[in-house]
Amino acid sequence: MTNPLRDPQDRRLPRIPEPCALVIFGVTGDLARKKLIPAVYDLANRGLLPPSFAVLGFARRDWGDGDFEDLARKAAQNGARTTWREEVWSRLAGNIKFVPGSFEDDAAFDHLAQTLDDLHDDAGIPGNAAFYLSIPPSAFPVVLKQLERTGMSDNAKSGGWRRVVVEKPFGYDLASARQLNDLVDDAFTAQDVFRIDHYLGKETVQNIMALRFANNLFEPVWNSNYVDSVQITMAEDVGIGTRAGFYDTVGTARDVLQNHLLQLLALVAMEEPTAFDADAIRTEKLKVLNAIKVPTDVFTQTVRGQYLTGWVAGERVPGYLEEKNVPAESKTETYVAVRLGIQNRRWAGVPFYIRAGKRLPRRVTELAVLFKKAPHLPFNDADVEMLGNNQLVIRVQPDEGVMLKFGSKVPGTQMEVRDIAMDFQYGEAFTDASPEAYERLILDVLIGDKTLFPDSAEVNASWNVIDPLEEAWSGSTPEPYRAGEWGPRAADEMLAREGRAWRRA
C-alpha cells in the first residue's frame, strides 16, 4: 500500500528515508568527524531523518558507547552548520552505538551484525542499513569480505535494503578501479553501491542542468557552431597539507581530474537526458565521457606542474618538495592542465581546457564557455579593440553563481565597445540555509536516489581518459611554478600556441 498521506503535488513535505541505520566504518577518521557526523546532526535538526534512525560507529578503539558519544557530540558541535539544539542531539545520541574492533576481527563483525539485527526489535528498523566506508581503499577487501561473511550485505537475508557508500579514490587506474568495482559489486549488488563525488552534491553543479535544459536561451548556441572553447578550472590556494603520503602516490590528475573535473565536463557537454532521473542522466554522461578524445601528442597538449616556495595570501609557503614526508626527488604533479576534445557532432573541434592545481592565487572552481567572436563587426577596428569573446561562466565555488560577459558601448559621444561582466549570484551562496553537499548526498543514499552518484561505468570511462596520460607522463619531470602563480608558463604557452589564453579565474 502506498502512503496515502504522500501526494506528488504536495511539495512542502520533505523527502524522508524509511527507518534505517547508518553504519560508519572509520568513524574516528577526519571525514567522519568533519563531515559525516555534522551532516547527520544537521539532517536530524532539519527533521529529515525518519522516526527510527540509528548510527553505528565501527573503529579500532577500546571504547564504550559513552566515549563514542562524546567524540560524536564534539564533532557535531564543531561541524554543524545549523544551530545547536540539545534536545535534537540527545534524541540522536540515544541511537548512536559504537562497535569496537579491527577489520580482521570476526567476533567484532558478528557483534556488529547482531547489533543491526537487534535494531529490528529495539528500534523498529526493519533491516535497512547503509554502510559508509570511510576507510582507505586498501582496507576495502577485508571489510567487504566480513560484510559478506556475516550476511550483512545481503538484502534478502537482512529483510530490508543494504547499501554501501564509497568515497574517492575509486582505484588508482582502470585495472584497480575494475578490481574495486568487482569487489564491491560482489558483496553488494551493483545498484546498491553509491560512489560519492561530493562535487555533485553542490547546488551550482545541479544548477548546470537547470540552466542548460530548462532554458531555451542557451541550448541553441551550446555547440561547436558558436562555442570557441571551454575552460574548466579548479584552483586551490592550499598546499597538500598533511596528506603527503596519499598525495605523493596519486598526483593532481588522479586526485581531482579523474573524478570532479571530468564529471563537471560531462555535465557541461552532455546531451539532454530523456528524463530527469538517475538512469537517463547517467546514460548521457557516459556517452560523453566515452567520446572524450585524449590528446595524441601528450607533451604539447598537457602540462604538469609542481609548486616551488613562494607567497600565497600574504604568507610564505614551502615548495612541494620541502613539504613534510614528500620524497626529495618526487615527480608527482600538483598542477595539471590538459586539452581534451569530444568526438561528437556537437563538440567536434572545440577544445576543452581543463586545469587544476594547488597553491594557486585563490580558491575557485568554475566552468567557462567562451563563444566565438561575431563573424562580422561593422565598427572601426579601433572601436572594438577591447572586445573579447562572449563568455558564460558558471562559478561552482566560492560565491556560486553565473556570469555573462558581453560587449557594451562605453558611455560617451564616441563609439567604443568593451566587455562588461553581468554577475549573477543566486543559490547556495545566497542563503546559509542551503545544505552542505554531504547532507544532501547522505540523505540521497538513505532514500535510494542515485541521480547524483557516478556509477562504475562512468568511473571506468574516466580512467580511460587518465590512464594514457599517466602512462605518457611516467618518468617525466613536472614543470616548476612558484606558489601563488597561476601554474607553470608552459600552461600559458599551451593555449597561446592556439591563439587563446586562460581566463583569470
Partner 1 sequence: MIGLWDTTGIEVVKALANERRSAGGLTSGLALTLIAVVDERQVREAEAAATIAASAHPCRLLIIVRADVTQQRSRLDAEIVVGGRLGPCEAVVMRMQGRLALHAESVVMPLLAPDVPVVTWWQCSPPERIAYDPLGVVADRRITDSAQSDDPVMALRVRSDDYVPGDTDLAWSRITPWRTLLAGAFDANRVGVKAATIVAPELDPTALLLGGWLEARLGVHPSRVTGTGKIMEAVNLELADGTAMNLVRDLNAGVATLQRTGQPDRILPLSRRPLGDELAEELRRLDPDQPYASALAAGTGKRRLGERTAPRVHIWKDPALAERPEAAAAPLQGSVAP
Catalytic residues: 260
Per-residue cell: 199: 562535487
Q: Which of 484, 435, 470, 496 is nearest to 43 (CA)?
A: 435
| Surface-to-core class of residue 235, CB atoms within 10 Å of its CB (0-12 exposed, 13-18 middle, 19+ buried) | buried
Please select the residue that binds partner 1; options are 316, 426, 497, 501, rule is CB under 8 A. Answer: 426
| Surface-to-core class of residue 256, CB atoms within 10 Å of its CB (0-12 exposed, 13-18 middle, 19+ buried) | buried
Helix, strand and coil percent figures for the chain, each rounded to 5: 40, 20, 40
Which range in 7-15, 76-84, 301-309, 366-374 contacts partner 1 by CB under 8 A? Answer: 7-15
Query: Which residues have a Cβ under 8 Å from the Cβ of 425 and sit 6 or more positions away?
Result: 399, 400, 401
Nearer to partner 1, 299 or 430 (CB): 430
Collapsing DSSP states into helix, strand and coil, what is residue 422? strand
Q: Is 499 in the site for partner 1 (CB under 8 A)?
A: no
Smallest distance from partner 1 to CB 406, Å: 12
Nearer to partner 1, 36 or 88 (CB): 88
Per-residue cell: 171: 582505484
Q: Is 431 in the site for partner 1 (CB under 8 A)?
A: yes
Contact map string, positions 384 to 403, toward partner 1, x by CB under 8 A = -----------------x--
Smallest distance from partner 1 to CB 289, Å: 31
Distance of CA 172 to the CA centre of its chain: 17
Nearer to partner 1, 299 or 426 (CB): 426
Which range in 4-12, 129-137, 356-364, 494-502 contacts partner 1 by CB under 8 A? Answer: 4-12
Q: Are 252 and 356 in contact (CB under 8 A)?
A: yes
441-444 LR contacts (CB < 8 Å, sep 24+):
441/196, 441/198, 441/200, 441/201, 442/22, 442/36, 442/39, 442/40, 442/43, 443/15, 443/17, 443/43, 443/48, 444/194
| Rounded-to-integer distance, Cα 353 and Cα 86, Å | 49
Q: Is 11 in the site for partner 1 (CB under 8 A)?
A: yes
Q: Are 334 and 488 in contact (CB under 8 A)?
A: no
| Rounded-to-integer distance, Cα 334 and Cα 85, Å | 42
Query: Which residues have a Cβ under 8 Å from the Cβ of 316 and sit 6 or more positions away?
Result: 309, 310
Per-residue cell: 292: 572524450
Q: Is 14 in the site for partner 1 (CB under 8 A)?
A: yes
Please select the residue that binds partner 1; options are 303, 395, 424, 492, rule is CB under 8 A. Answer: 424
Q: Is 6 in the site for partner 1 (CB under 8 A)?
A: yes
Q: How far apart are the first and last CA of the chain?
A: 53
Smallest distance from partner 1 to CB 163, Å: 17
Please select the residue that binds partner 1; options are 380, 430, 493, 498, rule is CB under 8 A. Answer: 430
Smallest distance from partner 1 to CB 3, Å: 5
Q: Is 504 in the site for partner 1 (CB under 8 A)?
A: no
Per-residue cell: 230: 571551454
Which range in 197-205, 216-224, 251-259, 430-438 contacts partner 1 by CB under 8 A? Answer: 430-438
Nearer to partner 1, 84 or 299 (CB): 84
Q: Is 423 in the site for partner 1 (CB under 8 A)?
A: yes
| Rounded-to-integer distance, Cα 461 and Cα 292, Å | 9
Nearer to partner 1, 202 or 304 (CB): 202
Contact map string, positions 30 to 49, toward partner 1, x by CB under 8 A = --------------xx-x--
Nearer to partner 1, 298 or 429 (CB): 429
Smallest distance from partner 1 to CB 87, Å: 6
Q: Scan residues 71-130 and list those touching partner 1 (CB under 8 A).
A: 85, 87-88, 91, 122-124, 126
Helix axes of 140-149 and 106-122: crossing angle, nearest 10 degrees: 50
Please select the residue that binds partner 1; options are 415, 422, 496, 501, rule is CB under 8 A. Answer: 422
Smallest distance from partner 1 to CB 44, Å: 8
CA 396-400-402 angle, to 5 degrees, is 90
Nearer to partner 1, 50 or 468 (CB): 50
Q: Give the count of residues interacting with partner 1 (CB under 8 A).
A: 40
Smallest distance from partner 1 to CB 65, Å: 18
Nearer to partner 1, 218 or 299 (CB): 218
Q: Is 5 in the site for partner 1 (CB under 8 A)?
A: yes
Length of the chain: 505
| Surface-to-core class of residue 78, CB atoms within 10 Å of its CB (0-12 exposed, 13-18 middle, 19+ buried) | exposed
Nearer to partner 1, 82 or 330 (CB): 82
Q: Is 3 in the site for partner 1 (CB under 8 A)?
A: yes
Contacts to partner 1 by CB under 8 A:
1, 3-7, 9-14, 16, 18-19, 44-45, 47, 50-52, 85, 87-88, 91, 122-124, 126, 401, 422-427, 430-433
